[in-house]
Structure 1
Amino acid sequence: MYFQRYYLECLSHASYMVADEETKIAAVIDPQRDIEIYLQDAEEHGFTIKHVILTHFHADFVAGHIELRDRVGAQIYIGKKGDAEFQHVKLGDDDRVELGSVYLTTLETPGHTPEGITMLVWDPQYSTDEPYAALTGDTLFIGDVGRPDLLASIGVTADELGNMLYDSLHEKLLKLPDATRIYPAHGAGSLCGKALSSEPYSTLGEQRKYNYALQPMTREQFLKIVTAAQPDAPDYFVHDAIMNRKNRVSLDEAMKHSMIPLDLGKVSNLQAGGAQVVDTREAVEFAGAHLKGSINIGIDGKYATWAGTMLDKTAPIVVIADEERLEESIMRLGRIGFDQVAGYLKHGMDALARRADLVAHTSRITAPAVPELDGNVVVLDIRSPKEHEEGHIEGSINIPLNHLEERVKEIPDADHLVVHCAGGYRSSIGASLLQKLGRKNVLDMVGGFKAWEASNLPVATTA
């Protein structure tokens, strides 16, 4: 048997290829939208990808099932309780996907979504009685379980899904042998849960011992604990969950319409008409000079998640990027279904060389310099409430980045508006948004709260 895990750090997303090394038939489970990695592996090993399986309709990214269907003719499979515009095969309990002597069987495991399934991987060279692994999708994570409260599950309440999740865990997954390897669709950093581990896999026995959601408790206790303290889900989650059901255009087609060079005049006209300009360069480069009204979401970070959080999925997007990162910047927007990229600024920032009237700058400040500022100083902490409670700068205002635009009027005018996050990535987004919204005297604190602590400056906590 060939078994391969692929991990996409930007989206904390894991996908898998399982193949029979004799028949050379392969299946890909929960693929990312840019599918070259699977095609390259298949070619290298002589595999034919005949099957592509969605454990559920993902909300945090657009899956690559359409792309694999179009490129290699793979058959698409979804859970029995799901429905979709594209041709598909429904999988219910005990249904099989044959690869050869290696095969997959299905467990219906709703809870994160109604149509959720788990795929059991069987390899007779390992055992004829026990599965080699369980590909649990977003039902069971390492250290956590899939949250049942996402609005992506349209028409089903969190309580209904929570009850389904409890049953899926106790009536299906927890009955598997303790030696079963658990391979989920997400790791630490995903918003599909609250306590996901960075470990690539575990065993059911280990999870039975250490996963908080699998400890002995009543159904009512379970429902309470799995819905408590979940992170805010970005608005684009609903968009992506719906998009994953549609017979949409492929990423290749979307890219053809997005990789269009635009001169500065065209970009200015689009911007005046409501287009969003996202600059994916590093924060220090953006601070030095950027197009007025642009938002800085750095390519080297949780780019897709924050782009999906901060950008309007209905408005055109113009990209400004370093030339060597341009295609990547647009493709990674495509990973989350933001196909409305109108193009990119031709020649990047060089296009602004003679247009100083269109150039803005962001002032940056080190943590030790903040207490030395004169006049009225407002410190804006754009981390999550939990991060703020665990330690913050005395007197700072906490408005999470994902709520900054809607709550900007809560921020008082100041001689110095110092913006910080944990390490500096989010604060550059926040500072650029504040400047776009017309706020003056904005300062981006370099290195964030970690730099403040490292400088041995005073830290307050919420009792």
Structure 2
Amino acid sequence: MKVEQIYTGCLAEAAYYIESNGEAAIIDPLREVETYLKKAEKAGATIKYIFETHFHADFVSGHVDLAEKSGAEIIYGPTAKTEFKAHIAKDGEQFKIGHVTVTALHTPGHTLESTTYLLTDENGKDHCIFSGDTLFIGDVGRPDLAQKGNLTMEDLAGMLYDSLNDKIKPLADDVIVYPAHGAGSACGKSMSKETFDTLGHQKQVNYALKAQTKTQFIKEVTDGILPPPQYFAKNAAINKGAVKSIDGVYEQGLKALSPQAFEDAANQTGAVMLDTRDPQIFAKGFIPNAINIGLNGQFAPWVGALITDLEQPILLITEVGKEQETITRLTRVGYDNTIGYLDGGFERWTDAGKEIDTVESVSAEAFEQAAAENEVTALDVRKPGEYESEHLELTLSRPLDFINEWMGEIDPANTYYIHCAGGYRSMIAASILKSRGVENVIDIAGGYAAIKNTGLKRTDFACPSKAMKV
């Protein structure tokens, strides 16, 4: 028996490869499926099943494409309704993979069809559970994504409590918990950085498993949930339908464009020019109106949070050789309309003598000096919880997640200093402001981590966000 976790850090997502006696199964596959096909081919195994723990909201799954290319059967849990061929498992239904058995345990709460898959080894011993978004390490799935009709998130939280107590907690303490996500995912609120654990240890440390009553559980699980990213509902809808193959997306997106062809395409299509280079490299020179979302950070979730239309045409500026990786990561969250990339990267643009723009970036010490000499307007674009835990007294909380909501408060004639925790998110915000006509934008290099070492006054307790002065 082989169980392999395939973890994708930028999405904080875990897929799984199970193999026994020449047969294999995949749990929660990502959009690009060649990894799974190659693993099975190398092992001389046939992929028999594709198990989906639920309709994912934070990424587009590769289940349909993988089924077509492998001949495997797609399995969903009870109540799931799909627009493609799938087997809807009954609660307790068992599936054989070589010498091992997978049992579907219906565990509604995160979503109504959420299902945990229990793997029993060749000796009949319960080995692990693939818990999807039902149980995370240190947390449980948010219960606010599948509200329908009169069904509230409190109702779903109650279902989740019953699922955990009736189906999961009775399992042996040495059963391994393999969740669908880890720290950084918006599918929960306080996940551990660890990506698996024993159920026994989780019973000791996971706040949700320690709740003594359903009332206590509902209160703790629903407290402090931020609104889901805008793309979540759209991805869930895609996953219920016949998700198209990634192959056609590559064919359309991997078109090398000269600087002039790139500029013409941008003007003719209204495409977003997405620059995925390192934030500090971007700051030194970029194509006017381009948006910076660095490939080396949580690229796909930020694209999903900030580009509201999944059909939006996208033109890419990447490091040379990173074009296909960028398209892959865009497709993971449903952005399939890349229409080309700048051949030769930004250097080719400058060689052609094309116009460029810059973002001024200053050190934390230079910002401290500027704040001492004049009144400044400084925006902290970290999440609300980060701001409330500790922030500069002079900054305004303007989370990047909600930039489209607070953008109307911005005065294009004003000068804005911007920071986040380390510099990734602040450059995204700076590039968006620049693209919308705010010329005087100054990034604080190193973010709050650098600012903390200055003499600027900080507060480290929760307080209301200041009103924007415009």
Give the TM-score category using the shorter length: over 0.9
Shift of 1:232: 3.3
Q: Residues 122-146 of structure 1, C-alpha deviation per residue, up to 9 Å, x if partnerless?
A: 1034xx2x41001100000111000
Shift of 1:413: 6.0
C-alpha distance in 2 between matches for 1:413 and 1:266: 31
Shift of 1:376: 4.1
2:350: which partner in 1?
Answer: 353
C-alpha distance in 1 between matches for 2:174 and 2:260: 62
**1:194 maps to 2:192:** no
CA spacing shift, 1:339–1:452, aligned 2, 3 Å: same
Shift of 1:414: 6.7
Q: How does 1:287-326 map to 2 (within 5 A)?
A: 287-312=283-308, 313-326=310-323
Shift of 1:456: 5.5
1:403: which partner in 2?
Answer: 402
SS of aligned partner of 1:107: strand
Question: Contact 2:368 / 2:455 at 8 angstroms: preserved in 1?
Answer: no
CA spacing shift, 1:350–1:413, aligned 2, 3 Å: closer
Q: How does 1:186-335 map to 2 (within 5 A)?
A: 186-272=181-267, 273-312=269-308, 313-335=310-332
**1:158 maps to 2:153:** yes
Which residue of 334, 338, 357 corresponds with 2:335?
338
Question: Contact 1:422 / 1:447 at 8 angstroms: preserved in 2?
Answer: yes
**For the aligned residues, what is the CA RMSD?**
1.8
SS of aligned partner of 2:322: helix
Q: How does 1:74-113 map to 2 (within 5 A)?
A: 74-113=72-111
**1:387 maps to 2:382:** no
Q: How does 1:31-42 map to 2 (within 5 A)?
A: 31-42=29-40
The one-letter amino acid of 2:94's match is R
2:118: which partner in 1?
Answer: 120
Shift of 1:405: 2.6
The one-letter amino acid of 1:217's match is Q
Stretch deviating more after TM superposition (137-146 or 449-458): 449-458
SS of aligned partner of 1:454: coil
Percent identity for Structure 1 against Structure 2 = 40
Normalization by structure 2: what TM-score? 0.93
Count of matched residue pairs: 457
Question: Contact 1:297 / 1:307 at 8 angstroms: preserved in 2?
Answer: yes
2:170: which partner in 1?
Answer: 175
Shift of 1:40: 2.5
C-alpha distance in 1 between matches for 2:286 and 2:362: 18
Normalization by structure 1: what TM-score? 0.94
Shift of 1:212: 0.5
Shift of 1:455: 4.0
2:466: which partner in 1?
Answer: none
2:5: which partner in 1?
Answer: 5
C-alpha distance in 2 between matches for 1:180 and 1:354: 59
Q: Residues 46-96 of structure 1, C-alpha deviation per residue, up to 9 Å, x if partnerless?
A: 211111110001000111112211221111111121111110101121111
SS of aligned partner of 1:16: strand
Question: Contact 2:235 / 2:334 at 8 angstroms: preserved in 1?
Answer: yes
SS of aligned partner of 2:116: strand
C-alpha distance in 2 between matches for 1:377 and 1:413: 15
Structure 1: segments with no counterpart, 5+ residues: none
CA spacing shift, 1:14–1:456, aligned 2, 3 Å: farther
Which residue of 23, 26, 30 corresponds with 1:25?
23
Stretch deviating more after TM superposition (230-239 or 53-62): 230-239
